[in-house]
Chains A and B, each alone.
Chain A
Amino acid sequence: MSALSDQLVMFAILAYLVAMICHAVEYALGNARAVAPAAAPKRELVGAGVGAAGGPVDAPPAAPADPPARLGRSAQQARLAGRVAVWITALAAALHLAATVTRGIAADRMPWGNMYEFVLTVSCVSAAAWLAVLWKRPSLRRLGLFLTLVMVLLLAFAELKLYVEVVPLMPALQSSWYIVHVSTISFSSSIFLLGAVPAIAFLMRNGYERGRRSFPYTLAKRLPAADGLERLTFVLHAFSFPIFTFAVIAGAIWAEAAWGRPWGWDPKETWAFISWVVYAGYLHARATPSVKRNVATWIAILGFLTMLMNLFGVNFFFTGLHSYAGVS
C-alpha cells in the first residue's frame, strides 16, 4: 500500500508538470484581448465535472460559449491548451488524492503524522480547492500556471527532502484532538496557500493595469482583471482565517491535555501566533479604506511567508515539543 502511494505521488507530480506545460502553452499562444474578457461572464463548459476531481475525463468537444467570429487560430489553440491543462490538473489531483488516501491506509491512521504526509495532505486539499474555485470562476483559469508550479515544487520537495517510511503515531499524537487540530490546520493552510496565488497574481496584474511594463508585471498581461483577483484573495483568506483560528484553539486544548499548558510559546506555537496576527492585520488593512489594496495584499503574502516559515523553517531550524516532523 505504501509503495503504491509513493508511485501515485510520482505520477501526480508528472501530471502536474504536464498541466503546467499546457498552461504555459496557453500563456504563450494566448491573445489577451480576444480570450480573457470573452471568457469572463459565462460559465464555460469546461468547468463541468471538474469539481468532483476524478470524475469521468471525457473532455467535451470544444464548444465555446460564444465564439467570437474573429477569434484567431492561435487564440483557439491557447484555449484548447488551457482546457487540457485543467483536465490534467484534475487528473493530477485525483492521483494526488489517491496517493494521500493510500498513504493513510498504509499507516492505518490519518495521513498527517509527519511532515511528509502533512505536505502531501495540505497540497492535495489546495489542489481540490483550486478546482472548486475554477468551477465557480472559470475565468481564473490562467492562474493554473502558478498553482501547478507550486504543486510541482511542493511535492518534489516533499518527495526529495521529507520522505519517511510509514510508522504509527507517537503517544503524544494519540488523541482525538490530533485529528481535529491537524485536519483544520491542514485545511486552513491549504486555503491560505491557495489564497497566495491570486494575491501574487493581483499584485502583478495591478501593476500591469497601472502601466508598469517591467519584468514581473508583463507576465500579468493575460491574467484576469485585478479587481476580481483581489476579491478572490480576500474571500479565500476570510474563509480560511476562522478555520485557522479554530485550529489554533484546538491545538491549545490539546496542548493543555498533553503538556499541561494551553500555550507555552514553543517555536511552532510562536509562529502560529505570528501568522494569526499577520492575517488579522490583513483583514484589518483590507477593511480600512485608507489602506491601499495592494498594501493589504502584501500583508496577506507576508502572512503566507510566516505560514511557510512555520511549516518548514521551524521544523528544520528549531527544536521544540512539536518535533514530530520526522526530519533529522
Chain B
Amino acid sequence: MTIVADRADPEAPRRRPNRALALLRNSWRQLTSMRTALILLFLLAVAAIPGSVLPQRGVNLEKVNQYFVDHPELAPRLDRIGAFEVFGSVWFSAIYLLLFTSLIGCIVPRLRDHVRALRTKPPAAPRRLERLPQHAVLTGVATDAEAVAAELRRRRWRVVVRGTEVSAEKGYLKETGNLLFHTSLIAVLIGVALGSWYGWHGNRLLVAGEDFCNTRQQYAEAKLGPRVDSADLPPFCLTLNHFDARFLESGQPEFYRATVDVEQAGRATRTETFSVNSPLRLGAANVYLLGHGYAPVLRYTDRYGKTQTSNFPFLTSGDATLTSEGLAAFPDVNVDPKTGKRDSNLQVAFEGLYLPTAPQQGPFNRSEFPTERNPAVVLVAYRGNLGMDAGIPGSVYQLDQRQVTNGKLKQVGDKKLAVGEKWTLDDGSVLEFVGTKPYITLSVRYDPGSTLLLGSSAVLLVGLMGALFGKRRRVWFRVTPAANPAGDAAPTSTDDPAAGSPTGGSSLVEAGGLPRTDYPGFADEFAQLVAAVSGGGEPDERAGGGRGARGPAGTREGAE
C-alpha cells in the first residue's frame, strides 16, 4: 500500500514544459496506475465470457460450423469480430497486452524502489515513540542496545544500532514476493507465446497393426506454429500393437491402454505403453491417447472373383456404447480382366453402422455395450460412381451424397452381418465381415514453452504467498541506562515509570512499533518481542499496546 501511495505522488519534474512530453508522461502514469490495472483486469474477465458462451474454433470446430448453420444471419457478423476465436482476437489481445504493458510499467519502478529499500538501513527512530501504533516502556531491564539488537537479529530482523537506539525492520519478503509474482506473470505469457510460435501438433487415427511416421502428410489435421516448418518435425514412427480397454457392467470405461512400437532415429525399436493420463513422452514430442474405436475388416470379392479388403475405421458418434458409423469404399473393383479397364460406374461402397454389441432383435441401430459381445455391421450397399475421381475432396468417412441424389450411385440392398457372415449381392459379388481391429485417436504435440510455463507458475505461487502473507513492519528500541535517567531521548511527557524506582545497573527501555501493511496480529508480535528483549520482563501495563489486548489495539493498526 505504501508503495502505491509513494508512487502516486508525482516527483514534480522541473524540466522545461513540453506539452507532448507531458501528455505522454501523463498517459504513461495513467496506464501504470492501479486503477487502470483494475479496469483492465475487469475487462479481461468480461472479454473471456463470450469465449465460453459461443463455440470456439480451437475447442470444437464442428460446433462452430453448426452455429453457422443455425444462425446464418448472426454468425458471419460474429465471425467478423472474432467471436469464434475470442482468445486470439484483436480485442482480447489488446486487453491483455495493455494489461501487461501496465504491469511492466508498474513493476520496473517498484523493482528499483525495492532494491533501494533493501540496501538502505532501517530509518532512525521517531522522536516520540509513544505516538506509534504500538508502544511500550520497560523499567529495570538489564540490557543495552547491543543486546537488544542481537535478540532482534536472532529473530531475523534487519537491525541497525545508532548509539542507544535500535531500529529494525522485517517483512521485505512481501514486496519481494509481490514483484516475483508479477514478474512471473510475464514469464507465463512468454511461455505461452513460445508454445504458440515454436510448437506444433497434429491428430490422427491409428488402426492396430498399422504404422505412422511423424510427417505433416500423415496427420488428418495438423497445426504448426508460425516459426515451424514441415521439415522441422522430428522423425519417428509408431506402430500400434495392441489396445486394451476395460469397461464396467454399466458401460462406463474403466481403463484404456495402448501398446506401440516406437522407432526413433539412432535408437533400437522399442515397445512402449501409454494411456489417458500418462502420455508417451518421446522427448521430441508427446503422444496423447484421446480416444478409440473399431475398424471393421470387410472383404469384398467382386464379380470377377478378385478380392479386396477394407479396414477403414468407423467413427464413434460420442455415445458410450461405441455405436460407430463409417464407410468402406472399393473404388478399384470390378476391373474386367479382359480389357484391364476399370469401369467407374461399377464402383462399390458400403455405408452403415458397426455395433460392438448388437441387440438380439432389431432395430439394429444402437450398440448395447462398448466391448464386442455380439459384433455386427449393418450396411447399405451402393454401386455406381463414387465421385472420387472428380477431384473434389470429400470426407473419407462418408459417402458423397451428391452422387446419390444425381442418380450416379444407386442403393443395391442392405443387410446386417455378424462376424464371419457373407452377403451375396445381386451381381454375384460377395461381402464378408471378417472381424474388427481396434484403432486409437492420437494427438501428437510439441510445446517448447511448457517448461517455462511450469517453472514460472511455481515461482508465481511462491511469490503470491510471500506477497499475501508477508508483513512489513518496523520496531525501534531506545535504551537509556538508569545511571543517566534524564537522557534527552527519554520521553519526559509521559510520567516516567522509571523515575520512581531507580534500579542500579539496569536500563529504561522504550519501544515502538509500526506495521507498514495491514497486519492484525502485530500487537501480539510486538508484545512478544518486547518481552523477549527484556529477558522475560513484563512490559509496563500502562504503556499501552500490551499483549493480548486485541480489541482496542486493533483499532489503531494500519494507520500509517
Contacts and interface: CB of A to CB of B under 8 A. Distances in A.
A285 to B, nearest CB: 6
Interface in A263-318: 263-267, 270-271, 273-274, 277-278, 280-281, 283-285, 287-291, 306, 314, 318
A146 interface: no
A167 interface: yes
A252 B520 CA distance: 35
A67 interface: no
Contact of B277 (A171, A252, A263, A291): A171
A170 B461 contact: no
Given A245-B464, A259-B288, A260-B290, A278 B45 contact: yes
Contact of B48 (A40, A260, A270): A270
Interface in B448-493: 450, 453-454, 457-458, 460-461, 464-465, 468-469
Judged by DSSP, the binding face of B is helix
Contact of A171 (B45, B53, B253): B253
A256 B277 CA distance: 9
B319 interface: no
B277 A258 contact: yes
Given A241-B468, A287-B1, A289-B4, A318 B41 contact: no
Nearest to B520: A231
B56 A174 contact: no
Contacts of A175: 277
B87 A265 contact: yes
Contacts of B38: 281, 284-285, 288, 291
A171 B461 contact: no
Contacts, number: 131
B276 A171 contact: yes
A277 B99 CA distance: 12
Interface in B6-55: 34-35, 37-38, 41-42, 44-45, 48-49, 51-53
A11 interface: no
Interface residues of A, number: 53
A265 B58 contact: yes
B402 interface: no
A238 B468 contact: yes
Interface string A224-264: 00000001001000100110011001001110111111111
Contacts of A246: 461
A249 B460 CA distance: 10
B195 to A, nearest CB: 9
A267 B52 contact: yes
A261 B447 contact: yes
A241 to B, nearest CB: 7
Contacts of A254: 277
A41 interface: yes
A41 B49 CA distance: 45
Interface string A163-174: 000011011101
A320 B55 CA distance: 10
Contacts of A234: 518
A40 B276 CA distance: 54
Contact of A260 (B5, B87, B250, B288): B288
A262 B279 CA distance: 13
A254 B288 CA distance: 12
B219 to A, nearest CB: 14
A78 to B, nearest CB: 22
Given A252-B457, A260-B286, A287-B1, A270 B550 contact: no
Given A265-B51, A274-B48, A289 B255 contact: no
A242 B470 CA distance: 13
A245 B49 CA distance: 19
Contact of B468 (A242, A259, A262): A242
Contacts of B518: 231, 234
A256 B450 contact: yes
B59 A320 contact: yes
Contact of B453 (A260, A262, A274): A262
Nearest to A269: B52
A175 B303 CA distance: 54
B440 to A, nearest CB: 13
B315 to A, nearest CB: 18
B248 interface: yes
B41 A277 contact: yes
Contacts of B201: 260-261
A265 B56 CA distance: 9
B551 A174 contact: no
B278 interface: yes
Give the interface centre of B37, B275, B277, B443 by most chain A CB atoms within 10 Å: B277
B170 interface: no
Interface string B366-388: 00000000000000000000000
Interface in A147-187: 167-168, 170-172, 174-175, 177
A274 B53 CA distance: 13
A171 B279 contact: no
B436 to A, nearest CB: 21
Contacts of B468: 238, 241-242, 283
Nearest to A235: B520
A161 B255 CA distance: 29
Given A281-B45, A288-B4, A171 B256 contact: yes
Contacts of A278: 41-42, 45
A259 B290 contact: yes
Contact of A174 (B5, B248, B277, B445): B277
A328 to B, nearest CB: 11
22 contacts: A40-B551, A167-B250, A168-B252, A171-B254, A171-B256, A242-B461, A242-B464, A246-B461, A249-B457, A256-B450, A260-B286, A260-B443, A265-B51, A265-B56, A265-B87, A270-B49, A278-B41, A278-B45, A280-B41, A285-B38, A288-B35, A314-B52
Closest 5 CB pairs of A and B: A260-B288, A175-B277, A270-B52, A267-B52, A41-B551
Interface of B: 1, 4-5, 34-35, 37-38, 41-42, 44-45, 48-49, 51-53, 56, 58-59, 86-87, 192, 201, 248, 250, 252-256, 275-279, 286, 288, 290, 443, 445, 447, 450, 453-454, 457-458, 460-461, 464-465, 468-469, 518, 520, 550-551
Given A254-B277, A290-B35, 11 more contacts: A167-B252, A172-B276, A238-B468, A241-B468, A246-B461, A258-B276, A265-B51, A267-B52, A270-B48, A278-B41, A284-B37
